[in-house]
Structure 1
Amino acid sequence: MTPTQDATAAAESAPLPKAERAKLLDLQRIAPTREERLFLVLSIFIGVISGLLVVAFRSAYEWIKILALGSAPHPGQYRLMYMPALVGLVVAALVVWLFPGARGSGVNQTKAALYVYNGYISFKTVIGKFITAALAIGSGQSLGPEDPSLQIGAGVASMIARRLRMSRQRLRMFAPIGAAAGLAAAFNAPISAILFVIEEVIGSWSAAVLGSVVLAAISSEVVARLFWGSEPMFHVPPVELRDPRELLAYAVLGVTGGFLAVIFSKALGYLRPVMRNLPRWTHFVQPAIAGLMVGAIGFFGFPQVMGPGYTVIDQALHAEFTWKILLALALLKMLATALSFSSGTPGGMFAPTLFIGAMLGGAVGTFEHHFFPHLVGTVGAYALVGMGVLFAGFLRVPLTSVFMVLELSGNSSIILPVVLANTIAYLISRSLQPTPIFEVFTHQDGLELPSMEEQREEVHLHIEDALHPVDVPVLRGSDSLSRASERMNEMGVKVVLVQMWDRTWYALTRDELTGMEALQKAETAIERAVGKDRIPPLYPDLPLDSALPYFSRWPVLPVQNRASRGTLEGILTQSDVLERYEQN
């Protein structure tokens, strides 16, 4: 070894100063591990693959639509009835015999993969979802592509994680990452996709999970925009709120949407188990019968209800229908979607929900303009707000519903009416239908998945809810052991709190004190006699359960003031915590 190498090795092996050593430990603690770095890189890769699959999925169902229904379906075409029925037979056979996991929307299946099956979604299910949903949506079933895209993305992520032999915890978290990627590409709305996955699938998040979800959603959206462009999904006329009194009209829309969302939820909640409990042989014909009935609605005058209906939504945003036609389309779309979804046909609820909301909003806006001409808001504005209203009331994701409207329209001037109407619809729906629709489907499927709405609304206890005034002696670290013994005897307690020179706290018990007095002089300062461990700082606003791990070491926990270190707000014992939980 050369002298230079010797010096370098010596420098590298030389002990670091204490401050630099602490900084190095901090960097090691916050720096991502190799698995975490791989996790982030894979999130981008999953986003790209999911984006490509969603692009292919959309192209597939649009191509099938042209083949099955023609480029411009109109009433009186017999293919509107027989094509959905024929394709329904094919879809039913595929679902029953080959792809049972493809049944349903895909949202609950992804949640089940996360909470029940350790993130496992078979690639067979991904293939089945792609094929059957494309056939169903393309043939005119009243369903949407967003939920299937979510499950396709989650399935791809699950497969990649299994191939790389990721840990069980990572495997579970890959499913929602892929879900966000698939939904972002299908929705052309990455922020809404991220929020929906957090609100409905995960329920909570950490910085690492959020970063991965964001990377996957953005990368899939970039891929989708390479094919479809960066324009928003809907082109909305300029929206302006000139008169604050018009908020009352939007409030009426919120009330109407809240009640309609409840009716829609109860209809699905009733019809779906009825059809599922019919004899098994009927499962081979239910999608066909549903397709025939949806096709009949189109044949006899309203082909707009067939398929996702994005073009019809855009027409409603530009006030191309009368209020009576808009109301009829909303009600018929509810009927058609209930039939298609309850029959077990693979497909999603997002697009139908937006469709119904847009028609309802347009109908309310047109009606109010007719009878209250002083209102200056456009019909398109009401249709746009209506989309968010039903999304908030039916799917029960209030935060997602607001951002979804903003992203899909590219218009931020509508934010105040959207927040007002969505909140009203959400509160009405929650009071009349306590169980969200996805949770209803979960119970019907025999699963017990966590309720994200209950988690959001759950009242969390904090330390301040259980602490009580200081009723034990408080000493300083410089006080002697004999002083501690005197104070214990005076107050008849078995523990004293000791504040050290650096304002940290120690709980000295009678047994500890007896052992110290046997080995040391009575005049010895407490801070010299005790060990180096200290009670971790606790504050009133911390979660109550955060105190539980410390009771195995400390019988009493001092609760400090955040603004004045060392100043006591009260104390906490294990019995205090348990009694507070019993009361709750």
Structure 2
Amino acid sequence: MSSPGAPPLDERARPQIRVSYRRALTWPLHFAFQEERFFLILSVFIGIFSALAVVCFRLAMEWCRLKMLGPRITPSGWHVMLAPAAVGLVVAVLVLHVFPAVRGSGVNQTKAALYIYNGYIPFRTVIGKFVTSVLAIGSGQSLGPEDPSLQIGAGLASALGRRVKLSRDKLRLIAPVGAAAGLAAAFNAPVSAVLFVIEEVIGRWSAGILGSVVLSAISSVVVMRSFLGSEPMFRIPPAALIRPQELLAYGILGLVGGLSAVVFSHAIDFLRPRLKAMPRWTQYFQPAIAGLLIGTIGFLGFPQIMGAGYEYIDQAMHNQFTWEMLGILAGLKIVATTVSFVSGTPGGMFAPTLFIGAMLGGAVSGVERHLFPHLTGSVATYCLVGMGVLFAGFLRAPMTSVFMVL
């Protein structure tokens, strides 16, 4: 029995009931806050692991290039023609029988992981993308390392998210976080990586994931620079707008670059489904034939179109090619990249697009310098504008293109 004058039992229990009720109401918010904070911390580790993977990726690719094409910046000899073809056969077998998800650049697969597969990317895909892209790009296929780095980062993030047992909602968002980390390490540019992931992978600005994307990109670049230094992909000489009339010349370059981007895109869209529709046995030889064509172009005196080609962008900016040579390289790079990509060879389109844009910009600069010398600025400026035009026109990422070339 309760003592005289004491409140009834139900009245004494009411404060405890109210506290328990309040805790029950706030627990989901507390849990959500804890998970959000954990997701941000996890984003930093995703950036670290992605950067380490990209560092290994770049070193392996460079080692492969040295072994197959030789130490010279401009390779020559019969091996230049034979190496891409032989490696193309190996890559085809790996893609068709071991790693079927690594075909192409990897950007669309990362978008599919976000919107279709709830963030799931098999770790096997990470290994496959690493191995096949190292072999393909290292042997001279006309593709770049940035898109594979993006997919490698996304795959590592997906594996780490499953390992720590993230909720389904957070696991779905983990792919673009890893994609930003991988791309930032490949570009050595966190802002460009963040913008591209928002523009092309996520497709919209999302406050719920922006912080994690930024954290992963920054931590990735910090780690990458601690291993490979902070040198940019190419050295940009001083460039400035000397007189307003130059804007007319840049407008002409915009038209030429936009038309080239349309031709480039339509060539891929035309050939890719037709090659996919061919009998399966032909797919074993498509990367090899593409490699043989690219190797032949290199053997005949244009090895600049092999691989990513960043060193030749640098040379173009420093006026080390004639404008005729720049125009030829732009056209050959479109052909080489088209056949590499439509054959299903793993590799990216970022570097080839920048290469084509730089060569076109330099070529247009040479023509306009010959016709209108008082309107033409430095070659480097035209190369930068050309890269921005091709990147925006082909990859449809205008914001990224602006920050990419600045």
Unaligned runs of 5+ in 2: 1-14, 17-21
- Pick closer, same or farther for the CA change 1:37–1:357 going to 2, 3 Å: same
1:269 aligned partner? 269
Give a deviation string over 1:349-405, Cα, whole Å, max 9, x none. Answer: 000000000000010011111211113510111011100110011111111110111
Q: Does structure 1 retain, via aligned residues, the 8 Å contact 2:76–2:303?
A: no
Larger Rg: 1
Q: In the TM superposition, what is the alpha-carbon distance from 1:167 to its structure 2 partner? A: 1.3
Alignment of 1:26-105 (within 5 A): 33-72=33-72, 74=74, 77-105=77-105
Aligned position for 2:369: 369
CA distance in structure 1 between the aligned counterparts of 2:291 and 2:100, rounded to whole angstroms:
19
Q: Which residue does 2:8 correspond to in 1?
A: none
The CA deviation string for residues 531-557 of structure 1, in whole angstroms up to 9 with x for no partner, is xxxxxxxxxxxxxxxxxxxxxxxxxxx
1:78, distance to aligned residue in structure 2 (A): 0.5
Contact 1:76 1:300 in 2 (8 A): no
Give 3-state SS (helix, strand or coil) of 2:263's partner: helix
CA contact (8 A) 2:86 2:288 kept: yes
The corresponding residue for 1:295 is: 295
8 Å contact from structure 1 (residues 145, 348) kept in 2? yes
**What's the CA shift string for 1:67-103, capped at 9, x where partnerless?**
0000116575100111111111111111111000111
> C-alpha offsets along residues 524-580 of structure 1, whole Å, 9 cap, x if unaligned?
xxxxxxxxxxxxxxxxxxxxxxxxxxxxxxxxxxxxxxxxxxxxxxxxxxxxxxxxx
Task: Name the one with the larger helix percent.
Answer: 2
Greater percentage in strand: 1
What CA distance in whole angstroms lies between the structure 1 residues aligned with 2:55 and 2:43? 18
Distance 1:195 1:84 in 2: 33
State the aligned residue count: 384
Query: Take 1:61 and 1:252, find their aligned partners in 2: how far apart are those partners?
Result: 37
Give unpaired runs (5+ residues) of structure 1.
1-12, 15-20, 407-584
Alpha-carbon distance, 1:207 to partner: 2.5
Q: How far did 1:301 drift?
A: 1.0
1:320 is matched with 320
| Residues 1-20 of structure 1 aligned to structure 2 (within 5 Å) | none
Q: Is the Cα contact below 8 Å between 1:74 and 1:298 reproduced in 2?
A: no
Structure 1 residue 132: deviation in Å?
0.1
Q: Evaluate the alpha carbon distance shift between residue 327 and residue 206 of structure 1 in structure 2; reply closer, same or farther with a 3 A threshold.
A: same
Whether the 8 Å contact between 2:368 and 2:376 is mirrored in structure 1 is no
8 Å CA contact 1:74, 1:299 repeated in 2: no
Residue number in structure 1 paired with 2:135: 135
SS at match of 1:33: helix
CA distance in 2 between counterparts of 1:88 and 1:33 reads 49
Corresponding residue for 2:171? 171
Structure 2 counterpart of 1:253: 253
Residue 161 of structure 1: aligned partner: 161
**Aligned residue number for residue 348 of structure 1:** 348
Name the SS of the counterpart of 1:248 in structure 2: helix
Q: Percent identity?
A: 66
Equivalence map 1:478-517=2 (5 Å): none
TM-score, length-scaled by structure 1: 0.64
Q: Which TM-score applies when normalising by structure 2? A: 0.92
How large is the RMSD of aligned CA atoms in angstroms? 1.8
Aligned to 1:195: 195
- Mapped contact 1:75–1:301 kept (Cα < 8 A): no
Evaluate the alpha carbon distance shift between residue 29 and residue 166 of structure 1 in structure 2; reply closer, same or farther with a 3 A threshold.
closer
CA distance in 2: counterparts of 1:316 and 1:263, whole angstroms: 23
